[in-house]
A and B are shown apart, each in its own frame.
Chain A
């Protein structure tokens, strides 16, 4: 169903001629994000400010047209895919950093500000913005807040929701509101808290106020090799069990290391079964003490070839390798598919071997690169979309892996969001009552269902889980 010309004309009168795209050929280019899902919007609209967003949403509400906010389109769960058509509300023109307050240690930004741009701007005040998704070079703060994004350093510092102080949002009726602000305790219900991570299904974010942190005086980053992913997993648990929470604790398996090394030449040991990247920060005394304790634990768990970055440039290179890892897998196969399930850390060895077995069963290569400290997996199933019928196999394998995660007491997504790709699996972890109550919130804030429809909640018409959903009761018995 394409959009009525009248609606397009009205949109143009709001944001200006050049900022609405409705040519069918060009719309195809906006069909996808970084996931494998795709569906064409009826129009792409690029607002310049909150007032324009509000006007666009009011138009959409009047005509009952879906609105799907879109940042840089780096999301991995299909959150920005216009699965029911409508308006792709591209926020990338709103990319001003409105204020950095070095005294209050906050920043006020428009949603299209790129994560790394904020960190660069904060750095000149000795501050930083903690959540650092691997796509931080391109992903936007608005997108981060909508998805409640994580990143390697969230192990210690927490995810996006822990750093968003308040937001200006446009609700489905076009009303513009500030939720929370900059005080530690607000009055009334924590709307900001429920809106962060709501994946564009409750509102469009038009401004974000975030907390900035003081840059730590010292940062120590170490790479360690392990004979197998199992031994590396044990090492991860051992570090945490020792009472140490590093700033970041990341794992890459051999497949990943090979791909990464080919691009970054970061000196990762390509013969190791797995490598861990560990970072601690703080004052020199504490990083020294922590790092030496970590070395001890890693060595006791078959860790070898431990190498600490000696210069900031070396450290940056080690991180560039980690953050570019998923993209680097393109060197092996042109497409990847991954879920970002989370397991309790102690289950890492079991889940990784289950993931390996599933990959073997489907004869699909799997590359693991993930936030080990959080137990947040990223098993990348590698394939070539041009191979006939492969996608079906890939999706089946992905679903089995995610199911294994749930069997080990885990969660569907640690940071990528549910979006389109995991919505069918929600009944695995949430009972009908749980989902009903979540949907009550949706119904209150978006009664006509125009905000990013088809996401988060299961849509049996579109996709069903191949593996049967469990009853809510079974899950509850296990949880509580």
Chain B
């Protein structure tokens, strides 16, 4: 069996120290070495070197990895876990027997996210179903939010800066965000305008490919990357701003042409600065790190600084804000039982803060957290960090 996408030098950087173990959500709930980053690296190393045969049984350990990369952030040896798990999964997909569930999920993904019109149609159908109350028909591992009209770029594909124009940024509209969380995009764009940015919406831009790459479909992801790169090529902009952590992480890793110009919304806002707040909101808030922001992009300070700067807002940290909520892209759908165990631990921690709002920076996390909160009968609200930040600015008078 060839495991040729996995690189032996990447695998060899693991010194087996075990510092990653308790950072791994699946290890925390199972206590098993086989469900830990160190165990998974050993497994892939042994596959690669041929000292263990590839078996479907052990492939489960790789399936159960959330890809949250918390381990990568705590790893002192600099093991490139994200790269290893993506390569390992791609190698594995070629090695294993096709499984209907995974195949369906991957095909559906490719078909859906690669084609914005299909996604929008899916959104419209779901919205209709929600309106007439037959959501059971589209039930998945977690519940979809109540859908509103999808986000659409303004006329001319440009939103002007408010006040002096100091920067020009491109904005990633993406695939599922505009349908599931149009309000997050709206708030993000508004914040950018307030920060003196002219916002350009690249016409013809498609899904960034993150969902495909995270599920072992590197070829599908490359097709989307090439299409998008040509969209960005002709245009001048200071940064490509992304308000979905998973997309941001993927763009930073997978789009060499954009090197250094991809910015998470909070990263960018912290860099260019927001105007002084003009609205005080008394709120107790807790912040859940989105894995692809905190671990893949190492951005933890900026969103917190921005939140703390809001007059009236008290940021209460949970004990482990850096631990994954169990959403992890399609994970909650593919591995509902493990996802639920991880979510339970998250809820124990999060509800303990007695915050009114939990804020995060990724659509999958928002959905998962909302599911967990509802299941506990709590009235905590979930917001995208952009929505919370925008509360510091009173709405323009009509």
Direct contact of A and B (CB under 8 A): yes
Residues of A with Cβ closer than 8 Å to B? Answer: 21, 23, 25-26, 28-30, 32-34, 44, 46, 72-74, 90-93, 95, 112, 114, 116-117, 120-121, 135, 137-139, 260, 262-264, 324-331, 334-336, 384-386
The SS class assigned to the B binding surface is loop
Considering only residues 17-35 of chain B, those with a C-beta below 8 Å from chain A are 17-23, 27, 31-34
Q: Are B33 and A29 in contact (CB under 8 A)?
A: yes
Q: Please name 15 pairs of A and B residues whose Cβ atoms are closer than 8 Å in the assembled complex, sorted by A.
A: A21-B32, A25-B57, A29-B43, A32-B16, A46-B32, A114-B22, A116-B22, A138-B23, A324-B76, A326-B15, A326-B76, A327-B76, A327-B77, A328-B76, A330-B15
By beta carbon, the residue of chain A nearest B46 is A28
Does B58 count as interface, using CB distance less than 8 angstroms? yes
Of the residues B18, B27, B78, contact of A135 by C-beta under 8 Å = B18
**A334 and B12 in contact, given A26-B34, A28-B52, A263-B78 (Cβ under 8 angstroms):** yes
Contacting residues, chain B, for A330 (C-beta < 8 A): 13-15, 17, 76-79
How many angstroms from the CA of A432 to the CA of B389 in the assembled complex? 71
Of the residues A33, A117, A324, A385, contact of B19 by C-beta under 8 Å = A324
Contacting residues, chain A, for B19 (C-beta < 8 A): 74, 135, 137-138, 324, 327
By beta carbon, the residue of chain A nearest B51 is A28
Does B75 count as interface, using CB distance less than 8 angstroms? yes
By beta carbon, the residue of chain B nearest A324 is B76
- Having A112-B31, A138-B19, one finds 11 other A-B pairs with CB under 8 Å, namely A25-B57, A25-B58, A28-B52, A29-B42, A73-B38, A74-B17, A74-B21, A137-B19, A324-B19, A330-B13, A330-B17
Of the residues B12, B16, B53, B76, contact of A34 by C-beta under 8 Å = B16
Does B379 count as interface, using CB distance less than 8 angstroms? no
Contacting residues, chain A, for B21 (C-beta < 8 A): 72-74, 138
Does B367 count as interface, using CB distance less than 8 angstroms? no
* Minimum C-beta distance from A81 to chain B (A): 12
Does B182 count as interface, using CB distance less than 8 angstroms? no
Does B39 count as interface, using CB distance less than 8 angstroms? yes
**A72 and B18 in contact, given A29-B42, A334-B12, A334-B13 (Cβ under 8 angstroms):** yes
- Top-6 shortest CB links A-B: A330-B77, A92-B31, A327-B76, A324-B76, A74-B18, A334-B12
**A120 and B319 in contact, given A25-B53, A29-B33, A46-B32 (Cβ under 8 angstroms):** yes
Does B55 count as interface, using CB distance less than 8 angstroms? yes
* Minimum C-beta distance from B295 to chain A (A): 14
Contacting residues, chain A, for B53 (C-beta < 8 A): 25
Contacting residues, chain A, for B34 (C-beta < 8 A): 21, 26, 29-30
Q: Are B76 and A33 in contact (CB under 8 A)?
A: no
**A73 and B78 in contact, given A29-B42, A95-B31 (Cβ under 8 angstroms):** no
How many angstroms from the CA of A302 to the CA of B16 in the assembled complex? 37
Contacting residues, chain A, for B347 (C-beta < 8 A): none
Does B274 count as interface, using CB distance less than 8 angstroms? no
Contacting residues, chain B, for A29 (C-beta < 8 A): 33-34, 39, 42-43
How many angstroms from the CA of A46 to the CA of B34 in the assembled complex? 13
Does B74 count as interface, using CB distance less than 8 angstroms? yes
Considering only residues 57-83 of chain B, those with a C-beta below 8 Å from chain A are 57-58, 74-79
Of the residues A90, A135, A328, A336, contact of B31 by C-beta under 8 Å = A90
How many angstroms from the CA of A72 to the CA of B38 in the assembled complex? 11
Of the residues B14, B15, B43, B74, contact of A137 by C-beta under 8 Å = B74
Q: Are B16 and A262 in contact (CB under 8 A)?
A: no
Contacting residues, chain A, for B16 (C-beta < 8 A): 32, 34
Contacting residues, chain A, for B23 (C-beta < 8 A): 137-138
Q: Are A326 and B32 in contact (CB under 8 A)?
A: no
Q: Are A329 and B77 in contact (CB under 8 A)?
A: yes
Contacting residues, chain A, for B17 (C-beta < 8 A): 34, 74, 135, 326-327, 330
Of the residues B20, B77, B78, contact of A138 by C-beta under 8 Å = B20
Q: Are A138 and B18 in contact (CB under 8 A)?
A: yes
Q: Are B15 and A73 in contact (CB under 8 A)?
A: no
Q: Are B32 and A92 in contact (CB under 8 A)?
A: yes
* Minimum C-beta distance from B128 to chain A (A): 42
How many angstroms from the CA of A186 to the CA of B319 in the assembled complex? 36
Q: Which of A25, A34, A139, A326: most chain B Cβ within 10 A?
A: A25
Contacting residues, chain A, for B52 (C-beta < 8 A): 25, 28
* Minimum C-beta distance from A277 to chain B (A): 16
Q: Which of B38, B43, B79: most chain A Cβ within 10 A?
A: B38
* Minimum C-beta distance from A93 to chain B (A): 5
Map CB proximity to A onto B127-149 as digits: 1 under 8 Å, 0 otherwise.
Answer: 00000000000000000000000
Q: Are B15 and A335 in contact (CB under 8 A)?
A: yes
How many angstroms from the CA of A386 to the CA of B27 in the assembled complex? 28
Q: Are B32 and A331 in contact (CB under 8 A)?
A: no
Of the residues A23, A260, A325, A384, contact of B57 by C-beta under 8 Å = A23
Contacting residues, chain B, for A92 (C-beta < 8 A): 27, 31-32
Contacting residues, chain B, for A117 (C-beta < 8 A): 22
Of the residues A30, A262, A335, A385, contact of B33 by C-beta under 8 Å = A30
Considering only residues 285-324 of chain B, those with a C-beta below 8 Å from chain A are 319
How many angstroms from the CA of A135 to the CA of B129 in the assembled complex? 51
How many angstroms from the CA of A329 to the CA of B15 in the assembled complex? 9
Contacting residues, chain B, for A325 (C-beta < 8 A): 76
Contacting residues, chain B, for A263 (C-beta < 8 A): 76-78
Map CB proximity to A onto B163-197 as digits: 1 under 8 Å, 0 otherwise.
Answer: 00000000000000000000000000000000000
By beta carbon, the residue of chain A nearest B75 is A327
Q: Are B76 and A72 in contact (CB under 8 A)?
A: no
Q: Which of A29, A326, A330, A334: most chain B Cβ within 10 A?
A: A29
By beta carbon, the residue of chain A nearest B40 is A29
Of the residues B8, B58, B75, B78, contact of A26 by C-beta under 8 Å = B58
How many angstroms from the CA of A32 to the CA of B78 in the assembled complex? 21
How many angstroms from the CA of A32 to the CA of B18 in the assembled complex? 10
* Minimum C-beta distance from B298 to chain A (A): 11
By beta carbon, the residue of chain B nearest A73 is B18
Contacting residues, chain B, for A137 (C-beta < 8 A): 19, 22-23, 74
Contacting residues, chain A, for B12 (C-beta < 8 A): 334, 384-386
By beta carbon, the residue of chain B nearest A335 is B15
How many angstroms from the CA of A46 to the CA of B46 in the assembled complex? 24
Q: Are A33 and B18 in contact (CB under 8 A)?
A: yes
Contacting residues, chain A, for B55 (C-beta < 8 A): 25
How many angstroms from the CA of A260 to the CA of B78 in the assembled complex? 10
How many angstroms from the CA of A264 to the CA of B19 in the assembled complex? 15
By beta carbon, the residue of chain B nearest A36 is B16
Considering only residues 63-113 of chain B, those with a C-beta below 8 Å from chain A are 74-79
By beta carbon, the residue of chain B nearest A330 is B77
Contacting residues, chain B, for A121 (C-beta < 8 A): 319
How many angstroms from the CA of A386 to the CA of B39 in the assembled complex? 19
By beta carbon, the residue of chain B nearest A262 is B78
Contacting residues, chain A, for B14 (C-beta < 8 A): 330, 334
* Minimum C-beta distance from A250 to chain B (A): 15
Contacting residues, chain A, for B13 (C-beta < 8 A): 330-331, 334
How many angstroms from the CA of A218 to the CA of B236 in the assembled complex? 52
How many angstroms from the CA of A329 to the CA of B16 in the assembled complex? 12
